[in-house]
Chain A
Amino acid sequence: MPTVSLKDSSSTVAWNFKLLAQHELDGFGGMGEGMSIQMARDGRRILWLAHESAPKNFTAVDVSDPRAPKVVVQTDLPQSFMRSNSLETVGDVMAVAYQTQKPGQKPAGFELFDISTPEKPKSIAYVDASGPHSRGVHQLWFCDGEYVHLSSGAPDFKPRNQLDDQFYRSFDVRNPSKPTEVGRWWLPGTRDGDAEPPPVRGKPPHDKGFRAHNTNVYPQRPDRCYLGYIDGGMFILDIADKAHPKAISGWKNSPPYTGFCHTVLPLFERDLLIVTDESTMDDAGDWPKLVWIVDARAEQNLVPIATCPAPNYDAFAKRGGRFGAHNIYENVPRPTGWHSDTIVLGTFFNGGLRAYDIANPYQPKEVAAFVPPGPPGAPHGTIQLNDVFVDERRVVYTVDRHAGGLYILEMDF
């Protein structure tokens, strides 16, 4: 007759992750989904972080010593109805997305900053994407120093349904003081005047919009944009002619799932795509929200082959706040970004941060987990891990959506 005893010395789940530091970012620890590392000219490693909501715009943290992060600068948004949920850096240039709560509000668009002195970001250019039907920019991708790819509204874009206001746009920023729009793509049928019929919408409350979310473009395939399109599923765009992007294939899990396709991460060497949903309802109201493995060997015939085993429903669904997939680390093609084609790291809100071994993509296996307790001030009492970044030193950064700020971890698997 065996006896099982358990010594519980911590309410933190830290399996194969070691917590190096946490920083609440001076009381403004509600973080968005923009995380980018700059190697400053003086050798400091600066992590730039977007905030989930006003009043803060962005925060820079010196993470040269991952055990002793220091806030370098923290800036304010000009309006309380704005949010700058996304940012990227290339060298000494940073692009920041501006979205408003309601269509028609200003400013809405994106801004480029000179961050050569991290303490003093200087505006280089502002691109106005506001309009009567636009909430501006939700997310942007900027990794080559030449083009910014965005999920954005536009002054001249009238969607048939207001929920479909943000679509794929790209801007040439080779002259960063004068960004110029290069191309657009939206789901045919969503713009007022389109010949195509409007898309069949999800049943409320699962009607979140047919609009762009992540707009990833990688140097391995500069002619492809990997596009998450919320309730439209995912698309691969041919952007060889940047002025005329063409959808060449797509995949959609909804219905029967509940939409909100978020990220498409291509693993080029392996002909795989990692596709995430985002959970947007508390208490798992839209469960299950998953990380999908898609066989992309035939680019025009995408085949889902597995999902990463999600944290257990019974343990997390009613714990408070959101539970389910959201951001994954996207193999950011910068010298300061880690690259792996066998490990997927993703944030699951109250399910914490999870790492999966996908060496066998038919059988993804969880290999690490980090679920800290709800930080002080957490509106639902739980952690709501929102985004994750891994630098080339294999140091992992993850952020809480509401209060906990930044958690810095080491992978031990």
Chain B
Amino acid sequence: MNDALHLFPSRTAGPFGRRAKHARGGRIPVTIVTGFLGAGKTTLVRAFLKSPQGRGTAVIVNEFGAIGIDDALVRDSAEATVLLGNGCACCVTRSDLQVALRRLVAERDRGSLPPFARIVIETSGLADPGPILQTFATDRALGAEFHAEVALAVIDAVTGAATLDWSPEARKQVMLADRVVVSKTDLADAAATALLMARLAQLNPRADIAVAVNGALDPDCLIDEADGTRARNNFAAEATHADGIVSFVLTETAPVEWTPFARAMDTLIALRGRDLLRVKGFLDVAGCRGPVLVQFVQHLAHPPVELQAWPDGEPASRLVFITRGLGEAPVRGLFDAVRGVALPDPQQTPTSP
């Protein structure tokens, strides 16, 4: 991955470069807050900004006037879409978000903006988080500067169930989230809330589901200092949801050889990239000391990051797939087949995927 390491081998770096304390490395962590209008996104974001964890946070809001956080600055940009990279239609993404992000960093570096160390993006209600996650998914775009740390979906206990019924966007927000926050439980019937929670757990079994009463939420919900390595392992079976979306978790206890893994992902991306809505997890890569965080969104791959150590000292690979119509069996079969034909790597040196 890091070709310069061949010329200048390092005792402390791993094959993917410096071993980072956090997956963000030297990038700015980004929290993406999704949820329908009235779900309580703004209340949560405001509460986060007032918490110690929220110090030095810049907020990007999709809609003008939607939020009244001490407006240090207001920016406009024309609505436009751009084609990224190889022009696949699934990469159509919002250039105004990219422009806003780049301006933030440029103006911070020039000193015309106060320093910030985190960005929270509050999306508009109907936003599909997929293209936003994709914006961060490659260093060709913004992946070298920003790290999508947490995707959070807010859903309110009063109208949430109905919204999930009629809106595929709402379902997708929940399915792609790392965390789901149920708001307004104080206004909802307890039995209805319990039903909603069960439905959310079914839609997204790997996400933590938290409850916010009167907007009171643990601010840690908007950050992830553990980089997902402490994610709950409560439900790993394949699940097929509405809209043909499938989720499953691949686990592996033996160390993973990087080259066959990367080649299998290449194949998967080439054949079904459009259908890989999100692939995220950490691998116990042979030759690496810490977990290697990998993330793919459709056909885009994040640069892998090796962390300094396994949080609980127990290496175990765990990769979450959220796909459109692609189940665990063919994916596992592909990985097994590629591994089966690969020669053993004598140097165990991961190469560029």
Interface residues of A (CB under 8 A from B): 1-16, 269-272, 295, 297, 312, 314-316, 339-343, 357, 359-363, 365-369, 371, 411-413
The residues of A that contact B219 with a CB separation of less than 8 Å are none
CB distance from B272 to the nearest CB of A (A): 32
Residue of A whose beta carbon sits closest to that of B55: A9
Bound Cα distance A405, B111 (Å): 25
Task: Report yes or no: B12 in contact with A2, Cβ–Cβ below 8 A.
Answer: no
- B322-353 Cβ-contact flags toward A at 8 Å (1 or 0): 00000000000000000000000000000000
| Interface core residue of A10, A11, A366, A413 (most chain B CB under 10 Å) | A413
Bound Cα distance A12, B55 (Å): 11
In the assembled complex, 25 residue pairs joining A and B whose CB atoms fall closer than 8 Å, in A order, are: A1-B63, A2-B64, A3-B60, A3-B67, A4-B100, A5-B59, A5-B69, A5-B71, A5-B72, A6-B70, A8-B70, A8-B114, A9-B55, A11-B114, A14-B117, A15-B115, A270-B8, A271-B8, A272-B8, A312-B111, A315-B109, A315-B111, A359-B10, A360-B5, A413-B26
Bound Cα distance A137, B7 (Å): 38
Q: Known contacts being A1-B77, A315-B110, is A357 close to B71, with CB within 8 Å?
A: no
Bound Cα distance A381, B219 (Å): 35
The residues of B that contact A270 with a CB separation of less than 8 Å are 8-10
Q: Which of A3, A366, A369 lies in contact with B65, CB distance below 8 A?
A: A3
Residue of B whose beta carbon sits closest to that of A355: B26
Task: Report yes or no: B21 in contact with A412, Cβ–Cβ below 8 A.
Answer: yes
Bound Cα distance A20, B208 (Å): 31
Bound Cα distance A5, B54 (Å): 13
CB distance from A274 to the nearest CB of B (A): 12
Q: Which of B18, B71, B77 lies in contact with A359, CB distance below 8 A?
A: B18
Bound Cα distance A412, B118 (Å): 14
CB distance from A202 to the nearest CB of B (A): 30
The residues of A that contact B110 with a CB separation of less than 8 Å are 312, 314-315
Residue of A whose beta carbon sits closest to that of B111: A315
- B64-83 Cβ-contact flags toward A at 8 Å (1 or 0): 11110111111111010000
CB distance from B263 to the nearest CB of A (A): 23
The residues of B that contact A314 with a CB separation of less than 8 Å are 110-112
Residue of B whose beta carbon sits closest to that of A271: B8
The residues of B that contact A315 with a CB separation of less than 8 Å are 109-112
Task: Report yes or no: A4 in contact with B58, Cβ–Cβ below 8 A.
Answer: yes
Q: Once A and B bind, how many residue pairs between them come within 8 Å at the CB atom?
A: 153
The residues of A that contact B17 with a CB separation of less than 8 Å are 342, 357, 359-360
Task: Report yes or no: A15 in contact with B117, Cβ–Cβ below 8 A.
Answer: yes
The residues of B that contact A8 with a CB separation of less than 8 Å are 56, 70, 72, 114, 116
16 further A-B pairs in the complex, CB-CB below 8 A; given A3-B65, A6-B114, A413-B22: A1-B77, A5-B58, A5-B59, A6-B58, A7-B56, A13-B115, A269-B9, A312-B110, A314-B112, A340-B12, A341-B11, A357-B17, A359-B13, A366-B26, A369-B115, A413-B25
Bound Cα distance A343, B20 (Å): 11
CB distance from A90 to the nearest CB of B (A): 24
Bound Cα distance A3, B60 (Å): 6
Q: Which of A9, A342, A367 lies in contact with B10, CB distance below 8 A?
A: A342
Determine the main DSSP class of B at the interface with A: loop
Q: Known contacts being A10-B56, A341-B11, is A2 close to B61, with CB within 8 Å?
A: yes
CB distance from A23 to the nearest CB of B (A): 23
Bound Cα distance A272, B7 (Å): 10
Q: Known contacts being A312-B111, A314-B111, A315-B110, is A7 close to B8, with CB within 8 Å?
A: no
Task: Report yes or no: A7 in contact with B69, Cβ–Cβ below 8 A.
Answer: yes
CB distance from B343 to the nearest CB of A (A): 28
- B10-52 Cβ-contact flags toward A at 8 Å (1 or 0): 1111000110111011100000000000000000000001000
The residues of B that contact A271 with a CB separation of less than 8 Å are 8
Task: Report yes or no: B75 in contact with A4, Cβ–Cβ below 8 A.
Answer: yes
CB distance from B334 to the nearest CB of A (A): 31
Q: Known contacts being A1-B77, A2-B75, A341-B11, is A9 close to B25, with CB within 8 Å?
A: no
| Interface core residue of A3, A343, A371, A411 (most chain B CB under 10 Å) | A3
> Which 10 residue pairs are nearest across A and B when measured between Cβ atoms?
A315-B111, A367-B26, A8-B114, A359-B17, A6-B72, A13-B115, A359-B18, A270-B8, A342-B18, A5-B69
The residues of A that contact B70 with a CB separation of less than 8 Å are 5-8
Residue of B whose beta carbon sits closest to that of A309: B109
| Interface core residue of B5, B69, B112, B115 (most chain A CB under 10 Å) | B115
Bound Cα distance A411, B25 (Å): 11
Residue of A whose beta carbon sits closest to that of B114: A8
The residues of B that contact A367 with a CB separation of less than 8 Å are 25-26
CB distance from A358 to the nearest CB of B (A): 8
Bound Cα distance A270, B11 (Å): 8
Task: Report yes or no: B4 in contact with A2, Cβ–Cβ below 8 A.
Answer: no
The residues of B that contact A371 with a CB separation of less than 8 Å are 115
The residues of B that contact A10 with a CB separation of less than 8 Å are 55-56
| Interface core residue of B10, B75, B77, B97 (most chain A CB under 10 Å) | B10
| Interface core residue of B11, B20, B63, B110 (most chain A CB under 10 Å) | B11
Q: Known contacts being A2-B75, A3-B63, A314-B110, is A269 close to B10, with CB within 8 Å?
A: yes
CB distance from B74 to the nearest CB of A (A): 5
The residues of A that contact B111 with a CB separation of less than 8 Å are 312, 314-316
